[in-house]
Structure formats: structure tokens, C-alpha cells
Amino acid sequence: MTTLRDRLRNAFFQVPLLGWFFGTLTAVFLERFLGTPVAEALGLAKIPVLFGCDIILKDPQRAPGAVAYVLVIYVLPILCVGKLTASLANRLAGRLLGLSAGLSVIFHLALLYAGLHVWSEVSDYRILTLKLTLIAIMVTLSLNIINGYMGEFSCSHPGFMALGAYAASVFNLTFFVNHKLFGPSMLPAGLGPFMFPLALVVGGAVAALGALAIAIPSFRTRGDYLAIISLAFMFIVKSMIENLEIVGGPRGLSSQPDWADLPTVFTWTVICVWIINNFVRSTLGKALNAVRDDEMAADAMTVNTRRTKIVAFLFGAFWAGVAGGLFAHVLRYVNPSTFGIQKLAEVLAMVYFGGLNSVYGSIVGAVSLSLLGEALRPLEMFKWIIIPTLLILVMIFRPTGLIAFREFNVLHLIRPKL
Amino acid sequence: MTFFFQNVINALQWGSFYALIALGYSMVYGILMLFNFAHGDIFMVGAYIGFGVAGGLVALVAAGTFSLPGWLILVLTIIISMLLTSFVGMAVERIGYRPLRDAPRASAAITGLMIGIILETGNLALLGARRVRFPSLIQSVTYDVGGVFVTNKKIMIVVVSLMLMLALHQFIRRSKWGMAMRAMAFDYVVVPLMGVSINTIASMTFAVGSALAAAAGILFAVAYPVLDPYMGILFGWKAFVAAILGGRGSILGATLAGFLLGFIEIFVAMIFPSTLRDLIAYSIILLILAFRPHGFFGEPYSARLRL
């Protein structure tokens, strides 16, 4: 058995990330052009939306067909193309990296985006799932700054998301859209898509302002104080929005412009990962870790602990606000009850499942739990027994999460493997 | 003025629910230094167990196996459900908290949250999405005391809650178990060396807290007979805030803060539109916490206290 494992590992460990991207691209194009005939040949009505999970769970008789489809369309092409293009990909990756690291990263991102784009074009459901997954990555990362890197326990992220979502929506609806609550648009609608980043930043800034209201009283003492203040803040935000008739009250706010398409969400996610990754590796990020491990010692080492904590907290809140703004524009409808305890449990689960103090971990946690949630959808409510059980097991066997305390090194990721 | 006293009665009733639940949070926090986020759902489970027990007893009486008056059925229901729910609490501790005793405390908070979700969904899976109706065991009688209308149910709820709180106080102060709990809360490290098992004490704490939550659940069901699987969420989180307000680990504080929260909520709803209730209640709590970060009776927190 070990020999087989070793042989498999030896066969594939030389494939660089670029090679896997080539494989993925082949697979998604294969699905695009041959997906329907293959699916029909295997006795499936249409292309399985999410790797056949829904079919396997809903209709076990057709499970072999779904598994075969996944093998033929995804697994085999990715493995074969990855293996076959390994040497080419290695040379290309080496050349690109030699040319310019930034260029290489952009090239990789472009390939990744192309793969995701072609994959998601098959159905609207895929696009929506993908967008929500990307937003989940942003939210999880921003919470990981506070709960992982700073070592506090903040419960206010749904509140920040709500602030961002409503601020960005109100901004857009006031300036660029004729809306029944906010009157006719003040600026030409054509300008809107270009100002969309500004709307998101406004959303983030409002969330950060809200965070300041928590940060000032709660960073005087350590401990569970922040948990309670932030929890109360979350309830206050939710209740406040429910009582503001100008933004629709409990009925919610709808008809946001449709500007959050896949490229926008993808770009923002990449920017978010990039900036947060740089932040946690900066001096400030290291100071944050020092504060978490021992506040007194950090103070003795000239770290301004209070300022460090407040900056990190506002930074996390800002990105939660941006994610909330995107969320509102992806769903084009927000309602205060979206941002309640349920959302909190979801986000906390993603952070702790993936791993504390780790950008990798947040990405893994957000992607795996979002996709798992979608994949188990046919099980209806039993989904909410399986996922929590899984999380409890992870907590028992790996209390800090799957991939905790790992640095996210892009250059290491994209380097040629030979 | 009668309007005012009317609301005092209502506030006492709501406060009893909050206080009974907050006691469970506070006891667990006092001993293990962590929040049992599944506690709100244990309240819900307690109410449902009470529903099952009461239904069973009523059916037995209807079948003529034995005959009992309604109030005795209620008393039996409360006692049996408290017992059964305490086993649920012990199971929660065993599954969600004991394996994580040495893990970061936040991890235990996550398992608590997840167990809460499992309890809600498990209930939904077992009983379906329809709401169930708690059988009415005692006839509602309304007394008119100088223009203030008081029902016997409200009096019963407040009296039973106060009795339970007194019993808890006696248990903590007088019994050997209570002494062990206080000792454990005082020093988490040394007391186990004196031959007191932390696992047993933790189990016991969860059992007592859950029993109180079950009592709160049944009393709630007596007042508002319609139960649904998500009823524990709102109550649980509000009682959690009350437990903090009282001072973490303080039994007296949790009781007082529970009643205070009841009063704040009822009187806010009396003066302002009731949709503003949560907003104003939480803002008041934030204000109190801003000036008294450790709650009414809590000790100043020190990160080094129990490591």
C-alpha cells in the first residue's frame, strides 16, 4: 500500500500550481462542450451542478453515473493534463517567476479566474454559490484577524456586515438608482458601476465606525468583555435597522443594482486576501500576535497594545463591511434578520473549522463549509446535524482548527516544483 | 399607577425566566471559566421534555390509571423534567466540553454553539416543524387586587422561581457538593489536588444549571403554551447577557440581573413602541457595562487568574 502511495506522490508532486490550473481549465472546458452529452450518456438528466452531490444524495440509484461523470470530466483530465504538462508548466512558472513575481501572480490569478468563470457559466446556481463562497472567504478572513490573530472573541461580525450592506446599498440607491424609498437618482446611473468600489469602501468605513464604538470601551480590559459588548452591539445594530423605516425596517431593502458580478467579487476577494495577508505579516500584525500571546510582555517591548488592538479591530470590521456590501449586491436584497445569531454561528464555524491565525485556514474553512453546506442541501435539516457534528469533531481533535498558525506564502505556492 | 403595577407583575414573570436561565450560565462560568452557549437550547429541550412528561401524565390520568389533580401533575412534570434535563446537560458537558478542557476556551464556545444547533435541529427532525401546545394543567384564575389583575399562573411562576433560587442558594452554601463547587470556582488548580474530581463537579454544575433551565422552560410553557424549537435562541442569548451583567460566576448577580433585564424590557415596551425593546434594552446594558465592566458582583478579570 505504501508503495502505491509513494508512487502516486512521486508521480504528482512535481506538478506545480500552474499545471493544476491547466488541468482545471481543461476540465471546465471539457464540461462546457462535452458535459451535456457525457451526462446524458451516463443516465443523468443534465450536468451535475455541484460535483454530483445533489444527485448522490437525492437519487442514490443514479449515484454511479454521477461518480463516473465526476471522474471522467474532472478527476481524469485534471490528473492527466497536470501530469502531462508538468514539465512545460514548471518551465513556464520558472520563467514567469524569473521575469517578475507580480506578473506571475497575476497570471496565476487570471488562470484561476478563467477556470472559475467557465465552471460557473453552466448555471446561475453555480455563479451564486461561487460568489457567496468568495464573500464567505472575506468575512472569515476578517474575523480571523480578531479571533485568531488578536486572540479575542468577537461576536459582532454580522453587525458589521449589516452596517456595510446597508451603507453600501443606501449609497448606491440614493445616488445612482431611482428607488421608491430614496427618490430619483442624483447622479447618472452610468456612473454607478465605476463608483461601486467607493460604495463598498463607504460600507466598510461605516462598519469600522461602528467597530470604534465597541473598541473604545472594550479594550480597556481584557478577557471576555469584548465578547459581550460585541454581542450586544450585534443585537443593537439588528434592532436599529429593524426600526429604521427609511431603509425598509424589518421588511428589508431590495432592488440593489446588479453590479456585483463575478469578476467584481473575485477582484475584491483577491484584494482582501492580499491586503489582509500583508497586514498580518507586517510589523503591526506581528505586534498583534505579541499582544495575543502576552499583553504585558508586548507592552514592555514598546508595543502600543491598545492602539494595535483598535487598529486591527477596525481593520477587521472594515473588511466585514466591504463583504457585507458585496453580499447585499449579490443577493440584491437584504433584511435585518439575515444578520443574526445564525450568521454569527456560521462565520465563527468557518473561522474555527479552517484554523486560527492562518490565511490558508480561513480560505479552507470558508470554502469547505460553504460548499459542504450547498452539497448537503438535499438532506434538508439533517445538514444542520452533520455540519455541527463535524465541527465538534474538528474542535475535539484539532482545537485550533484544521490549518492553524500557518503563513500564507504566495511565492512558495506558485514556484516551479522542479 | 395600576398600569405601572400591572407591568411590575409582568416584569417579575419575565425576570424569573431570565434569572433561572442566567443562573446556569453563571454557574458554569464560575467553575469552568467558559460560556455554555448551548444553554439556551437546553432551556428549549427542558420545555419539550416537560411537554412530553406532562402529555404522558395527562394521558395516563385520562386513561384512568390513576387520578391526579392538575397542579400535582404540574409539580410532577417540573420535577421529572428537571431530572431528565439534567442528564441532557451532563451529556452536553461530556460531549462538548470535557474533551476540550485543555483547549483554548474559544474552541469550547464553538462546540457549545454547535451542540445548540444540533439540539434545535434534532428537535425539528424528531417532532417536525409544527409548533406544539403545552397542555393547560391549571385553571387560570384572575384576581383583581385594587385594579391590578394578577393571574394565579403569574404568582405561581414567580413563587416557584424564587423557591428554586433559594434552593440553589442553600445547595451551594450548605451541601458538600456546593462546597466543592465553590472551592473549584475559587481555585481551579489546587482543588483537584485535594481529591475533588473536576469532572464530577463540572458534570454536577451542568446538571444543576440544566435542571434550572428546564424549570424555566416549563414555567414559560405554562405562561405561553406554544413551543417551537428555536425558542431557546432569543431567551438563551438574553439570559447570557443578564449573566454577564450580574457578574460572571455570581449567583446573586445573575438572579438580580435576570430580574433587572425583565424590568428593563417590560418598561421599555411600556413607554416606547415595543419594536424598540431590544435596541433600548441592549443599549442600557452596554451603558451599565461601560461603567461597571465586571458586572454588578463580578471580580475584576485577570488573564492570569486561572491558567
DSSP string, A304-370: -HHHHHHHHHHHHHHHHHHHHHHHHHHHTEE-GGGGSHHHHHHHHHHHHHH-TT-HHHHHHHHHHHH
pLDDT in tens, B254-290: 999 999 999 999 988 888 888 888 888 888 888 888 7
Residue A367 belongs to a domain: yes
Contacts of A385 in chain B (CB under 8 A): 118, 121-122, 125
Query: Which range of residues forms the domain containing residue A163?
Result: 124-414
Contacts of B278 in chain A (CB under 8 A): 235-236, 238-239
pLDDT at A2 (0 to 100): 66
What would the mean pLDDT of B220-230 be, rounded to a whole number?
91
Is residue A11 over pLDDT 80?
A: no
Of all residues in chain B, the one with the smallest CA distance to A344 is B113
pLDDT at B300 (0 to 100): 62
Residue B39 belongs to a domain: yes
**What does R_g of chain B's alpha carbons equal in angstroms?**
19
Cell 438532506, residue located: A379
pLDDT at B301 (0 to 100): 53
- Are A300 and A381 part of one and the same domain? yes
Q: Is residue B214 classed as helix, strand or coil in its secondary structure?
A: helix
The pLDDT confidence band at residue A312, using thresholds 50, 70 and 90, is very high
Predicted TM-score (pTM) of this structure: 0.91
Residue B278 belongs to a domain: no
pLDDT in tens, A27-36: 999 988 888 8
- Top pLDDT among B67 and A162 is at A162
The pLDDT confidence band at residue B307, using thresholds 50, 70 and 90, is very low
Residue B77 belongs to a domain: yes
Burial of A172 (0-12, 13-18, 19+ CB in 10 A): buried
C-alpha distance from residue B231 to each of A337, B39, B124 (Å) = 15, 12, 12
Interchain proximity B289–A235, CB inside 8 Å: no
Q: How far is A184 from chain B (nearest CA, A)?
A: 30
Is residue B303 over pLDDT 70?
A: no
Per the CB < 8 A criterion, the answer to whether B145 and B85 are in contact is no
pLDDT in tens, A268-303: 999 999 999 999 999 999 999 999 888 889 989 899
Q: Is A212 on the interface with B (CB under 8 A)?
A: no
Amino acid present at A209: L
Residue B212 belongs to a domain: yes
Q: Is A236 on the interface with B (CB under 8 A)?
A: yes
- Measured from the Cβ of residue B273, the count of other Cβ atoms closer than 10 Å reads 9
C-alpha cell at B260: 433587572
Q: How far is B289 from chain A (nearest CA, A)?
A: 8
What would the mean pLDDT of A91-108 be, rounded to a whole number?
89
Interchain proximity B111–A345, CB inside 8 Å: no
Residue B217 belongs to a domain: yes
What would the mean pLDDT of B240-265 be, rounded to a whole number?
87
Q: Is B287 on the interface with A (CB under 8 A)?
A: no
Q: Please give, one letter per residue, the 3-state secondary structure of A197-210.
A: HHHHHHHHHHHHHH
Interchain proximity A395–B118, CB inside 8 Å: no
Burial of A246 (0-12, 13-18, 19+ CB in 10 A): exposed
Residue B27 belongs to a domain: yes
| A window 249-278, beta carbon within 8 A of B | none
In chain A, the number of structural domains is 2
Interchain proximity B122–A225, CB inside 8 Å: no
C-alpha distance from residue B191 to each of A93, A188, B23, B127 (Å) = 61, 72, 23, 43
Residue A115 belongs to a domain: no
Which residues lie closer than 8 Å to A394 by C-beta, 6 or more apart? A352, A353, A401, A402
- Are A91 and A128 part of one and the same domain? no
Q: How far is B8 from chain A (nearest CA, A)?
A: 24
pLDDT at B272 (0 to 100): 85
CA B158 to chain CA mean position, Å = 14
- Are A207 and A356 part of one and the same domain? yes
Per the CB < 8 A criterion, the answer to whether A93 and A83 are in contact is no
Query: Which range of residues forms the domain containing residue B200?
Result: 13-233
Q: Which of A103, A135, A155 lies at the terminal end of a domain, its last residue?
A: A103
Write out the H or E segment, with its range, that includes residue B143. Answer: strand B142-145
Pick from A341, A385, A207: nearest CA to B240: A341
Question: What was the ipTM of the complex prediction?
Answer: 0.88
Residue B274 belongs to a domain: no
- Are A80 and A165 part of one and the same domain? no
Is residue A223 over pLDDT 80?
A: no
Residue A243 belongs to a domain: yes
In chain B, the number of structural domains is 1
- Are A174 and A283 part of one and the same domain? yes
Q: Which of A72, A103, A134 lies at the terminal end of a domain, its last residue?
A: A103
Per the CB < 8 A criterion, the answer to whether A334 and A169 are in contact is yes
Q: Is A153 on the interface with B (CB under 8 A)?
A: yes
Pick from A240, A249, A100, A262: nearest CA to A181: A249
pLDDT in tens, A132-184: 999 999 999 999 999 999 988 899 999 999 999 999 999 998 888 888 778 78
CATH code assigned at A303? 1.10.3470
Which stretches of A42-190 are DSSP H helices? 53-58, 63-69, 76-84, 86-99, 101-120, 124-144, 157-175
C-alpha distance from residue B204 to each of B90, B113, B184, B186 (Å) = 7, 21, 12, 16
The pLDDT confidence band at residue B306, using thresholds 50, 70 and 90, is very low
What would the mean pLDDT of B144-170 be, rounded to a whole number?
90
Angle formed by the axes of helices A383-397 and B105-127, to 10°? 160
- Are A303 and A358 part of one and the same domain? yes
Alpha-carbon distance of B160 to B154, in angstroms, equals 10
Residue A118 belongs to a domain: no
C-alpha cell at B286: 452596554
- Top pLDDT among A347 and A1 is at A347
Residue B102 belongs to a domain: yes
- Are A351 and A212 part of one and the same domain? yes
Of all residues in chain A, the one with the smallest CA distance to B278 is A239
Interchain proximity B110–A224, CB inside 8 Å: no
Q: Which of A103, A134, A152 lies at the terminal end of a domain, its last residue?
A: A103
- Are A53 and A162 part of one and the same domain? no
Q: How far apart are the first and last CA of chain B?
A: 53
At residue A395's C-alpha, the angle toward residues A389 and A401, to 5°, is 120
- Top pLDDT among A44 and A28 is at A28
The pLDDT confidence band at residue A4, using thresholds 50, 70 and 90, is confident
Alpha-carbon distance of B72 to B13, in angstroms, equals 21
- Are A150 and A69 part of one and the same domain? no
Q: Which long-range contacts (CB under 8 A, 24 or more apart) does A383-388 make?
A: A384/B117, A384/B118, A384/B120, A384/B121, A385/B118, A385/B121, A385/B122, A385/B125, A387/A349, A388/A349, A388/B114, A388/B115, A388/B117, A388/B118, A388/B121
Write out the H or E segment, with its range, that includes residue A250. Answer: none
pLDDT at B302 (0 to 100): 46
Q: Is residue A221 classed as helix, strand or coil in its secondary structure?
A: coil
Residue A151 belongs to a domain: yes
- Are A229 and A339 part of one and the same domain? yes
| Torsion sign, CA atoms A154, A158, A160, A161 | positive
Alpha-carbon distance of A58 to A78, in angstroms, equals 27
Alpha-carbon distance of B27 to B19, in angstroms, equals 12
- Are A132 and A69 part of one and the same domain? no
The pLDDT confidence band at residue A222, using thresholds 50, 70 and 90, is low
